[in-house]
Amino acid sequence: MLRRERKGQIYTDVPDGGWGWMVVLHFFLVNTIVIGMIRAFSVFFVVFQEEFEATSEQVGWIGSLMSSLGFSAGPLVAIVCDITGDKTASILGASLVSGGFLISSWATSIPFLCVTMGLLPGLGSAFLYQVAAVVVTKYFKKRLALSTAIARSGMGMAFLLVPLTKFMIDQYGWTGALLLFGAFTLNLVPSSMLLRPIHVKSKNISDIKSSSLPANGQEMCETEASHCNEIFASSTWDSTIQEAGQPSTSLTVPQSQNQEFNNRPKDGRLMHITNGESNKKRTTLWRCKQLFDISLLQNPFFYIFTSSFVFSQFAYFIPVFHLVARAKTLRIDLLKASYLVSAYGIIEIISQLISGWVADQNWIKKHHYHKSYLILCGIVNLLAPLATTFPLLMTYVIFFAIFAGAYLALIIPVLVDLSENSKVQSFFGLSTFFVGIAILSGPPIAER
């Protein structure tokens, strides 16, 4: 029979706490360090322009690659996670980010940096972020909005890295700063060890959904319905069937019936689900089908969520990348410009925590909060060209941080609600793929 061995504690219901808070801690560190690196790029942006005598559009591609791959590599991350496990995939991501920054210290051109500071850290951040986000949804249900808000508030804490980046560049040069960043991101390797596997076990056999078996397995079960019911009714021997992106479910079979099951003639019915090369190939193909589930393209909620996600992220990274450059254009001191980014980070932390707590109260549906924050965020961005002085620019940053932080805290809870707690990995991966394409073109287009 199919049996997939994975260590981890078995729960009969989502714990909504416990070790889940350690997973939230890891997700918090991922947001702090990875998003901090993206925001710190706004300081490197100006330095690279002067060092390599490049245009804003040329340098902008580095940041675009870094941030876009963090999303567009979602389907690849889903496959790697299914093969290696969440913990190993997260460690791989941390290694890619760290290695990319270390190699970038030897950069001699903008194209070189596009690969070492754009592609490698971007791909690594995709592994780190998506793995942490999906594991959090496995540990939390009632407190999902608050837990993700706490974790994503690390994005606000990332403001600390912006003045620190300026200080390190002044003290050690941009090459020394990149070396220190590479060493700093290695801290995500031990924190990835906190991603303990979790298996939520159904209380009754009736809880097993039809999606827990391949299509041919479902048909076989239907033809052997009475025999299956007899087997499931008297359970003494455990064997676990768990597929990619699905909750762990235990099927129990008595020893005598198990022997009868395996010795029956191969007439195309349930006994075809046995150990063997053909079964492994069928299972692998089924997992790939689950990860690239094209049935999502028939789901109207997928289109609504993805389009909202695409346009919001398309605009979100533009102020983040170009805030310091905009301040420099207005002849604002670089140190004061770094304060703008810091203020943004502090306000975003508070906004995300409040937004997550309010959403968990279930006064209204989460997607209503989400769309309201997006509308307000868009209005603030329309008024951004009027900010031509430091006080006005600070005012813009404050309001943008309030509404942006509020909607960012609800992205994952809204996704889980719309996906109805099933196919979260494929729903998330396919949505972020399209988001990555939008982010890739956002900042460079903004320069034109």
DSSP labels for 115-165?
IIIIIHHHHHHHHHHHHHHHHHHHH-STTHHHHHHHHHTHHHHGGGHHHHH
Listed by start position, the domains of the chain span 9-198+294-446, 201-291
Q: How open is the CA angle 40-109-337, to the nearest 5 degrees?
A: 25
CA distance 383 to 392: 10
CA distance 115 to 118: 5
Which 3 state secondary structure label does DSSP give 403? helix
Structure tokens at 369: 């909060």
Residue 276 φ/ψ region, left for φ over 0, alpha for ψ in the -120 to 50 degree band, beta for the rest? left
8 A C-beta contact, residue 357 and residue 146: yes
* DSSP assignment of 279-303: HHHHHHHHHHHHHT-GGGGG-HHHH
**Whose structure tokens read 């070396």?**
179
At residue 433, the pLDDT reads 78
CA distance 128 to 88: 10
8 A C-beta contact, residue 373 and residue 355: yes
Structure tokens at 178: 């990149």
CA distance 371 to 61: 30
Phi, psi of 252 (to 5 degrees): -115, 135
Q: For the whole model, what pTM was predicted? A: 0.67
* DSSP assignment of 194-251: T---EEE--SSGGG--GGGS-HHHHHHHHHTHHHHHHHHHS--SEEEE--TTS--EEE
At residue 295, the pLDDT reads 63
At residue 157, the pLDDT reads 73
C-alpha distances out from residue 160 to 4, 167, 346, Å: 43, 11, 9
Q: Which of 415, 420, 376, 407 is nearest to 149 (CA)?
A: 407
At residue 421, the pLDDT reads 53
CA distance 269 to 267: 6
Structure tokens at 67: 């941030």
At residue 156, the pLDDT reads 66
What residue ranges of the chain have pLDDT lower than 70? 1-14, 156, 200-298, 317, 320-321, 420-426, 438-448
C-alpha distances out from residue 110 to 122, 179, 275, 326, Å: 16, 18, 52, 21
Q: Which residues pair with 238 in a beta bridge?
A: 252
At residue 242, the pLDDT reads 42
Overall CATH class of domain 9-198+294-446: mainly alpha
